Structure 1
Amino acid sequence: MPQTVVITGASAGIGRAVARLYGERGANVVLIARGRAGLDAAAHEVEELGGTALVRVADTAAAEQIEEAATAAEQALGPIDVWINCAFTSVFAPFDEITAEEYERVTHVTYLGFVNGTRSALKRMLPRDRGTIVQVGSALGERAIPLQSAYCGAKHAINGFTSSLRTELLHRGSNVRVTIAQMPAVNTPQFSWVHSRLPRHPQPVPPIYQPEVAARGVVHAADHPGRKQYYIGPSTWATVWGNRLAPALLDRYLARTGFDSQQTDRLPPSGRSNLYEPVDQEEGCDHGAHGPFDDSAHSRSFGAGLARHPALVVSGLALGAAAAAGAAVRRGLAGRS
């Protein structure tokens, strides 16, 4: 039997790339987002690749809309096996330039949208005692950066919420699994439609990866949900461990570099933002999975591959330690000769 997979934020970016991978598997893919044009294009891709698609236009910030989408999914395609929370929105600006309404909107979509999706998934998975929930997180959920306080705050909240939920599931002895795929900088269309008050065009902090790298990490996390979280890409590892080992130093570094590194030398986007309304709701407005940084984005990540095969990481660390020990012994012997 094919899997039934729900993906929020499926009309573009990482969610769109994840939908394609499940389409290749022949899965039943439920595509949820606000923009109809992007959803219809994603559904066409899923079905061309061999899957079955169901489109539901919904705002993840509205719990009742997500619940209606979940009901429709199971009525049409059967029990939900995997639920992937990926939808988000953001504002690029210093904190004191973000209005209270804008901050609330980012929090409602990027944090409470994950809560709403998780609630609807659990309502169906817990009675069956099976199912997997994947939260698409970010390295910025562990290490905040300037100009994205609303987004970073929401991603931090997702980590805390998911950790609390995981302990509750463990207490119950539930076979429902929840995991987080922590993302690096990804070349998605958000940088062309994000609500921004920056003087120049926003960009992800390099190194930048293509959505397909992120998507492979998400699908692997869904297939192997026993781990608490997955770090996708070497920059995610470096960010997390740099923050754990030298947070004050990283503060000063980001204060010095974090403004320019999130902007190109181009003028800011001239179109409207997607903060309150989708920009792909009209026919012909599909934005696809990729953003404007194809020329500088990596389509492969050695670190992401290692994240899918942790035994290789352990082996590599052991070999590195052995090599370092051997070098120390040789230096000691040379010193005595």
Structure 2
Amino acid sequence: MKDKVVVVTGASGGVGRAVAQEYGARGASVALIARGTAGLGSAAADVGAAGGTGLVYEADVADHQQVRQAAARIERELGPIDVWINVAFSSVFAPFTEISPEEYERTTRVTYLGYVWGTRVALDLMRPRDRGVIVQAGSALAYRGIPLQSAYCGAKHAIKGFTESVRTELMGEDSGVQITMVQLPALNTPQFSWVLSRLGRHPQPVPPIYQPEVAARAIVHAAEHPRRREYWVGASTAMTMIGERLAPGLIDRYLARTGRQSQQTDSLEPTGTANLWRPADEERDYGAHGAFDERAHSRSFQAWLSRNRGLAALTVAGGAAAVAAVRAARR
């Protein structure tokens, strides 16, 4: 990735910040798109310290014109965009009937249309060159809705359908541009400190929780191997998606009983500045990690399996052959 140009939306914090750092370590030129000036500035410094080049492009991904103008600047200042990674999102933690129409629309514009506009702008630039990669940071919640997150779950489901549609169009025209999606588990990011919440207690990711670097490594791998239509990260993601295929009604009943409790801590402390309408990191840098470092896993064996399916299959086959040989020798 040395000297390649990579765009990361939502780069000021959380997964986007971790992705930017990962690309910095690989010597890439990283264009950082977000709204929060403090977070963006620190993200650019992180990329530089890791060995890459980080430049800030302040924009609201919900606004197509802002995204298009940022992309034009990126190509003028850094060169042709090789990889575009959509990560930016916002949401509301609340029962559906307690979310105002304006809040729901804003969440949809950021979390769904932000991906649509990013993809559209990337394709406008990449298709004439017949090369480039687009990666969508997804979620297990693209397959399975849960209580208190109807706006986010709806947006992630929409991104999945949208991406599948665009992928088939690119395949149909035999395009050299690739698009893939990475379905992520619960992550220890700052969103649980800055999301708009109407819960009685402080929100938390549904355990098990993973560090954002786990997601970042998977996203970078997907960008390097984009012919796979989808990657799964975390055993919980795999279990959720398989369970949804096998017994969705059973999962409905399970989540109805446990879904609210599992998304709240024992703390009555409210979240900080809600970032739905304005960035939470205008003056303070939140970084990549949230408040759950002590509970978060820094590795995911399932993510390794997803990245190395061929090697895993070969290992299993080799083990089976060895067992068969031993049994035959004993006869």
- State the match for 1:299 in structure 2: 298
Amino acid at match of 2:60: D
1:251 paired with 2:243, answer no
Q: 1:324 to 1:159 in 2, by over 3 A?
A: farther
Match of 1:168 in 2: 169
- Counterpart of 1:269 in structure 2 is 270
Q: Distance in 1 between matches of 2:236 and 2:79?
A: 38
SS of 1:279's equivalent in the other structure is coil
Matched residue type, 1:292: A
Change (3 A) 1:317 1:268: farther
Partner of 2:24: 23
Distance 2:319 2:201 in 1: 43
In the TM superposition, what is the alpha-carbon distance from 1:269 to its structure 2 partner?
2.3
Q: For 1:77, give the aligned amino acid.
A: L
Displacement of 1:314: 2.9
- Where do residues 301-320 of structure 1 align in structure 2 (5 Å cutoff)? 301-315=300-314
Aligned to 2:54: 53
Partner SS, residue 152 of structure 2: helix
* Aligned partner letter, 2:226: P
Is the Cα contact below 8 Å between 2:197 and 2:271 reproduced in 1?
no
Change (3 A) 1:325 1:268: farther
Taking only the aligned residue pairs, the percentage that are identical comes to 64
Amino acid at match of 1:235: S
Corresponding residue for residue 285 of structure 2: 286
Look up the SS of the partner of 2:285 in the other structure.
Answer: coil
CA offsets 1:36-90 (integer angstroms, 9 cap, x no match): 0000000001011111111011000000000011000000010000000000001
What SS class does the counterpart of residue 250 from structure 1 fall into? helix
3-state SS, counterpart of residue 138 of structure 2: strand
- Structure 1 241/56 Cα, relative in aligned 2: closer, same or farther at 3 Å? same
| SS across alignment from 2:294 | coil
Alpha-carbon offset, residue 317 of structure 1: 6.1
Partners of 1:85 and 1:300 in 2: CA distance: 23
Residue 318 of structure 1 deviates from its aligned partner by: 5.2
8 A Cα contact 1:202 1:268, kept in partner:
no
For 1:184 and 1:278, locate their aligned partners in 2 and report how far apart those are by CA, in whole Å. 24
TM-score (norm 2): 0.95
Cα 1:130–1:46, aligned 2, differ >3 Å: closer, same or farther? same
Cα deviation, residue 2, structure 1: 1.0
- Once the two structures are superposed, what CA deviation does each residue of 1:131-181 show, in whole Å capped at 9, x if it has no partner? 000000000000111100000000000000000000000110001000001
Q: Aligned residue for 1:121?
A: 122
| Residue 239 of structure 1, CA deviation | 0.5
Contact 2:5 2:82 in 1 (8 A): yes
Q: Is the 1:133–1:179 contact (alpha carbons within 8 Å) kept by the matching residues of 2?
A: yes
Unaligned runs of 5+ in 1: 330-337
Q: Is contact 2:196-2:271 (8 Å) kept?
A: no
Q: Distance in 1 between matches of 2:46 and 2:208?
A: 28
**What is the SS of the residue equivalent to 2:134?**
strand
> In the alignment, is the contact (CA less than 8 A) between 2:192 and 2:271 conserved in 1?
no
- Distance (Å, rounded) in 1 between the aligned partners of 2:195 and 2:322: 47
Go from structure 1 to structure 2 and tell me whether the alpha carbon gap of 1:105 and 1:24 turns closer, same or farther (over 3 Å shift). same
Aligned residues of 2:195 and 2:271 also touching (Cα < 8 A)? no
1:139 aligns with 2:158: no
Give the whole-Å Cα distance in 1 for the aligned partners of 2:324 and 2:63: 57
Residue 69 of structure 1 aligns to a residue in which SS? helix
| CA apart distance, 1:218 | 0.3
2:246 matched to 1:230?
no
What is aligned with 2:106?
105
Q: 1:325 to 1:153 in 2, by over 3 A?
A: farther
The aligned counterpart of 2:181 is 180
Partner of 1:89: 90
- Contact 2:201/2:265 (8 A) holds in 1: yes
Q: Is the 8 A contact 2:186 2:209 kept in 1?
A: yes
Stretches of structure 2 lacking an aligned partner (at least 5 in a row): none
Matched residues in 1 for 2:297 and 2:18: separation? 15
CA contact (8 A) 1:29 1:46 kept: yes
- The corresponding residue for 1:219 is 220
Residue equivalent to 1:205: 206
What TM-score comes out, normalization by structure 1 length?
0.93
Partner amino acid, structure 2, of 1:252: R
1:10-58 deviation line (CA, Å, top 9, x unaligned): 0000000000011011100000001000000000010111111110110
Q: What SS does the corresponding residue of 1:215 show, helix, strand or coil?
A: helix
Deviation of 1:267 after TM superposition, in Å, equals 1.2
Distance 1:322 1:256 in 2: 45
Are 2:10 and 2:33, in contact at CA under 8 Å, matched by a contact in 1?
Answer: yes
In structure 2, what residue type is equivalent to 1:306?
L
Q: Secondary structure in 2 aligned to 1:186?
A: coil
Change (3 A) 1:103 1:317: farther
State the AA in 2 paired with 1:220. Answer: H
Between the aligned partners of 1:96 and 1:319, the Cα distance in structure 2 is 54
Tell me the distance in 1 between the aligned counterparts of 2:47 and 2:260: 38
